[in-house]
């Protein structure tokens, strides 16, 4: 049988936050965690496997590269339009 303080410690271990997101025009409650190396699965924190971490790392790297390229294009366009407007 768990004591009250043990229940509190369990709650403190799992730092799950509720977040309201809009999906398909409807409000939905999503559960997130602050702890590094963990994900929320079925309202419980679960440690992310090594294989999944590697996949996430590769995916994030690719996304960052694409984002960098798109940002570069938009910055160039902005610079051109500013030059046209101000003549500097």
How does pLDDT run across 41-61, given as a tens digit for each residue? 988 999 999 999 999 999 999
CA 32 to chain centre: 9
Helix, strand, or coil (residue 10)? helix
Asked if 16 and 33 touch (Cβ cutoff 8 Å), the reply is: yes
Domains of the chain, by residue range, sit at 4-86
Does pTM surpass 0.95? Answer: no
| Nearest-angstrom CA–CA distance, 31 and 65 | 28
At 15 the pLDDT is 81
Q: For 36-44, what is the mean pLDDT?
A: 90
3 vs 72, more confident: 72
Asked if 31 and 20 touch (Cβ cutoff 8 Å), the reply is: no
Residue 46 structure tokens? 């679960």
For the chain, how many residues are written? 88
């Amino acid at each position: 049988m768990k004591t009250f303080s043990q229940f509190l410690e369990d709650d403190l271990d799992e730092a799950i936050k509720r977040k309201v997101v809009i999906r398909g025009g409807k409000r939905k409650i999503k559960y997130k965690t602050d702890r590094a190396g963990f994900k929320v699965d079925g309202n419980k924190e679960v440690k992310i496997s090594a294989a999944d971490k590697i996949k996430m790392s590769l995916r994030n790297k690719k996304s960052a590269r694409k984002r960098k390229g798109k940002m570069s294009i938009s910055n160039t366009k902005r610079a051109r339009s500013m030059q046209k407007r101000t003549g500097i």
